[in-house]
């Protein structure tokens, strides 16, 4: 089978190639899936380029998510012909991933694909859209409604940011998009952004408490951006943090939390229980339509993955990248 294979040894160093791999090398698991679509996420870009230690075992097939059809199953939850989705669970990091023609995984990592979405649509949404939905559900659970005020979305040109803007718009929220690419302002407005700010307003160290601007924040950037976003969140607001594009450091004080009652909500898409996954995907199936996906998604093939992964890290890719296997 064909796969994006990452390896590391003393002779060649860190390598990533589109390779022919013996199917017998697939790791243990109780479900074998014919992969139809995967995606390129920020984490995939890091793994493909080796710019961060995402991959924990070698050799490794890249790809943190996929959609496909069950070929074989020894688990009663699934049978041949079932259409399934996988997001996270260490796939593409410690267990061979979805940027390949087949994948063997644990049944507990899979959910059935919503009937309203095709395999192509689920991976046009992918882990980025699924994570964005988890973030939106997190701020909703914290009591943030459309009437609460403006929601800031950082990293707005990325996959999570793009979907967060669209989901929030569909749910009636007013949003502000933070971006370092001013030329993409019209694109962000088509997704639902009412206001655009330059990411430079948030990306440098700031005061512990600043003017109250946001009812809530969905942040995929981390570092100073997250610290400033918390410092600008209004009393009783909520900040959902799900990424570290700027960095994983967080230099701030407790002031926003104890003086304004701001909630900082960590959102992890990798280890979410099945019930939360199914809830997020069911909501996505109702909210996202094909026109949205056409606006936000580029489709590539397996032989374009390595080049596109590098471009993704350089900020040259808008929205989502779906990979047709």
| Interval 261-280: pLDDT, tens | 999 999 999 999 999 999 99
> How many whole angstroms separate alpha carbon 298 and alpha carbon 201?
29
| Residue 199, pLDDT score | 96
> How many whole angstroms separate alpha carbon 251 and alpha carbon 253?
7
> How many whole angstroms separate alpha carbon 115 and alpha carbon 83?
9
Low-confidence ranges of the chain (pLDDT < 70): none
> How many whole angstroms separate alpha carbon 4 and alpha carbon 16?
7
| Residue 314, pLDDT score | 87
Beta-carbon-side half-sphere exposure of residue 125 (alpha carbons within 13 Å): 33
| Residue 12, pLDDT score | 86
Q: Residue 300 corresponds to which tokens in the numbers above?
A: 């590539």
Q: Whole-number mean pLDDT of the chain?
A: 95
| Residue 319, pLDDT score | 72
Q: Residue 76 corresponds to which tokens in the numbers above?
A: 């009663």
**Gap between the terminal Cα atoms of the chain:** 11
Q: Residue 133 corresponds to which tokens in the numbers above?
A: 């939905």
Q: Edge-to-edge strand order for the sheet containing 13-20?
A: 13-20, 2-9, 60-61
> How many whole angstroms separate alpha carbon 248 and alpha carbon 244?
5
3-class secondary-structure state, position 3: strand
> How many whole angstroms separate alpha carbon 302 and alpha carbon 96?
16
3-class secondary-structure state, position 300: strand
Q: Residue 215 corresponds to which tokens in the numbers above?
A: 């009812």
> How many whole angstroms separate alpha carbon 115 and alpha carbon 122?
10
Looking at residue 89, what DSSP letter applies? T
Per DSSP bridges, beta strands 151-153 and 175-179 are: parallel
Please report the domains of the chain, with CATH numbers, ordered by start residue. Answer: 2-113+292-324 (3.90.180.10), 128-266 (3.40.50.720)
Per DSSP bridges, beta strands 110-112 and 2-9 are: unpaired
> How many whole angstroms separate alpha carbon 65 and alpha carbon 88?
6
pLDDT digits (tens, 9 = 90+) for 240-264: 999 998 999 999 999 999 999 999 9
| Residue 91, pLDDT score | 96
Length of the chain: 325
DSSP secondary structure letters along 201-234: GTSS---SS----EEEEEESSBHHHHHHHHHTEE
| Residue 182, pLDDT score | 84
| Residue 11, pLDDT score | 87
| Residue 207, pLDDT score | 97
């Amino acid at each position: 089978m064909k796969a994006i294979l990452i390896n590391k040894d003393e002779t060649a160093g860190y390598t990533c190639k589109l390779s022919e791999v013996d199917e017998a090398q697939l790791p243990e698991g109780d479900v074998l899936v014919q992969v139809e679509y995967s995606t390129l996420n920020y984490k995939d870009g890091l793994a493909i380029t080796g710019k961060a230690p995402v991959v924990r075992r070698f050799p490794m097939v890249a790809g943190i998510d996929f959609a496909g059809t069950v070929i074989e199953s020894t688990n009663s939850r699934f049978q041949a012909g079932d259409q399934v989705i996988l997001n996270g669970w260490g796939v593409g990091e410690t267990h061979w991933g979805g940027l390949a023609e087949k994948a063997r995984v644990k049944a507990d990592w899979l959910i059935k694909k919503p009937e309203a979405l095709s395999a192509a649509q689920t991976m046009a949404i992918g882990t980025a859209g699924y994570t964005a939905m988890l973030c939106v559900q997190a701020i909703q659970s914290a009591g943030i409604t459309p009437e609460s005020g403006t929601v800031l979305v950082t990293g707005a040109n990325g996959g999570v940011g793009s979907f967060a803007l669209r989901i929030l718009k569909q749910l009636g929220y007013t949003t502000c998009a933070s971006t370092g690419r001013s030329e993409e302002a019209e694109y962000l407005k088509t997704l639902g952004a009412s206001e655009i700010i330059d990411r430079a307003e948030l990306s440098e160290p700031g005061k512990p408490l600043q003017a109250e601007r946001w009812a809530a924040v969905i942040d995929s950037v981390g570092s100073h951006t997250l610290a400033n976003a918390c410092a600008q969140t209004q009393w009783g607001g909520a900040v959902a943090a799900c990424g570290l594009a700027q960095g994983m450091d967080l230099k701030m004080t407790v002031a926003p939390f104890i003086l304004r009652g701001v909630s900082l909500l960590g959102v992890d898409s990798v280890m979410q229980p099945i019930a939360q996954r199914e809830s997020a995907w069911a909501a996505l199936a109702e909210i996202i339509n094909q026109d949205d996906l056409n606006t936000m998604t580029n489709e590539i093939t397996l032989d374009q993955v390595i080049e596109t992964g590098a471009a993704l890290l350089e900020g040259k890719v808008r929205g989502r990248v779906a990979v047709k296997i």
